[in-house]
Amino acid sequence: MTSSAQSELVLPDGFLMGAATSAHQVEGNNTGSDWWAFENRPDTFVSEPSGDAADSFHRWPEDMDLLRELGFNSYRFSIEWARIEPVQGRVSRAALAHYRDMVRGAIERGLTPVVTLHHFTCPQWFHARGGWAAPDSADVFAQYTRTALDVLRAGVKYVATINEPNMVALMTALYRRAAEKGADDADDAGAAAGFASVEPATDVTQALIRAHHAATEVLHEAGLGLQVGWTVANQVYQAEPGAEDVAAAYAFPREDVFLEAARGDDWIGVQAYTRHLIGVDGPLPVPQGAETTLTGWEWYPEALGEAVRHTVDVVGPGVPVMVTENGIATGDDERRIDYTTRALKSLAAVMADGIDVRGYLHWSALDNYEWGTFRPTFGLIAVDPDTFARTPKESARRLGALARSGRIPHAPAAALSAR
């Protein structure tokens, strides 16, 4: 699979190289969603609401044109439940037609669509009836999935049921704790310390697993040949000497239980950005002096290869991997290029060892709304906040050129571990 110089890995036929977005983060004016209501509450702690976001609800053809011109062959995007079913049981034919047009538009441009059914946001009515904690949440989600088949029939092959369910369960626990403490402590729900000290809500974890399995059954029974999986936020927990058992216990409810639920799926989505160190007393801070990104995460591109290896260790080698998110929040595009190059080298090392990886979808296609602020810029394509003009960055051209060539940088695993 590698070239004779061992500097590049030739990608297998059908390998997806592209970029990703989510509906709420790029479409704009998602007024029926729970996140829109949350952003615009008088007592909200978020820095700024999503507003028009990147106006991709109207400008998606331009976004897809750019991805095609840059050389990519795939685009991951989500469809918005709150637009499709703004009131429970009342389906918007216009919204379904809109997302069908997106699927067809991607295919017409040679972009394989990877469609996510749920990317963090829910209809306000779903939230009001208890959200994922409601006893019948899995059944309600399965019914939405049946409705979404009208979009998927337009030519979708790859479907992700739920994006990062481990983050959904964790955020639920954080919000519950904030509610118990009172409104004055609500900003704690977004603090890094909160993530480290709170365990994901067990009831929501189980509900999300039930919902994923119920939706998967609906999608398989449709007879469309859909390849179904879900995506997990891979945290790359690294144990300090003597803390291996602590790290395993810490990781299970936050990641591994969701990976175990994917055993038997058609594929599993890996989403990796950085690592987290675990000591004998629990999580440790970012190492002193380490470079960090605009999100405060350690600059650690090798997280990608390590996340893929861990995922396969838990899920098993029979479930193919797709990298559905990987990237860096930075205002320095040269650092994005450096990060992506090293991340791809770590991925190539994994693939050279025989692990079945079907695609790499960079996060994100556009600079977008990052759940409370536009400040962390992950995009390959810059978006002017006033005119919405799209400007591809050099990182987009570099990654697009790799996609067009069918090769990615490769370094032996030993060289990566020595860094």
Q: Quick one: pLDDT at residue 5?
A: 47
- The single-letter DSSP state of residue 219 is H
Report the mean per-residue pLDDT for the chain.
94
Q: What is the pLDDT of residue 271?
A: 98
Mean pLDDT of 359-363: 99
**Selection from 283, 146, 277, 292 nearest residue 221 by Cα:** 146
Query: Is the pLDDT at 99 greater than 90, yes or no?
Result: yes
CATH fold of 8-417, please? TIM Barrel (3.20.20)
**Is a pLDDT exceeding 60 seen at residue 255?**
yes
Say what the pLDDT of residue 228 is.
99
Q: Does residue 184 have a pLDDT over 60?
A: no
* pLDDT bracket for residue 2 (50, 70, 90): very low
Per residue in 17-54, pLDDT (tens digit) is 999 999 999 999 999 999 999 999 998 889 999 999 99
pLDDT value of residue 3 = 42
Q: What span, in angstroms and rounded, lies between the C-alpha atoms of 199 and 171?
A: 10
If you average pLDDT over residues 62-70, what whole number do you get? 98
What pLDDT, on a 0 to 100 scale, did the predictor assign at position 196? 79
Measure the CA–CA gap between 312 and 307, rounded to whole angstroms: 9
pLDDT higher than threshold 80 for residue 419: no
Average pLDDT in the 362-391 region?
98
pLDDT at 45: 85
Pairing of strands 407-409, 390-392: unpaired
- Contact assessment for residue 361 and residue 76, using Cβ atoms and an 8 Å cutoff: yes
Can you list the positions of beta strands (E) in 220-315?
227-234, 237-239, 268-272, 276-279, 282-283
Q: Give the pLDDT score at 180.
A: 84
Q: Are 87 and 129 in contact (CB under 8 A)?
A: no
- Of the candidates 321, 340, 320, 322, which has an alpha carbon nearest to the alpha carbon of residue 330? 340
Q: How far is 200 from 257, CA to CA, in rounded Å?
A: 11
The pLDDT of residue 90 is above 80: yes
CB 134 within 8 A of CB 140: yes
> d(Cα 319, Cα 264) in Å, to the nearest integer?
7
Q: What is the pLDDT of residues 145-183, one digit of tens each?
A: 999 999 999 999 999 999 999 999 999 999 898 888 764
Percentage of the chain lying above the pLDDT 70 cut: 94
Flag the least confident range among 196-200, 220-224, 252-256, 379-383. Answer: 196-200
Q: Using the predicted structure, report yes or no on whether residue 281 has a pLDDT greater than 60.
A: yes
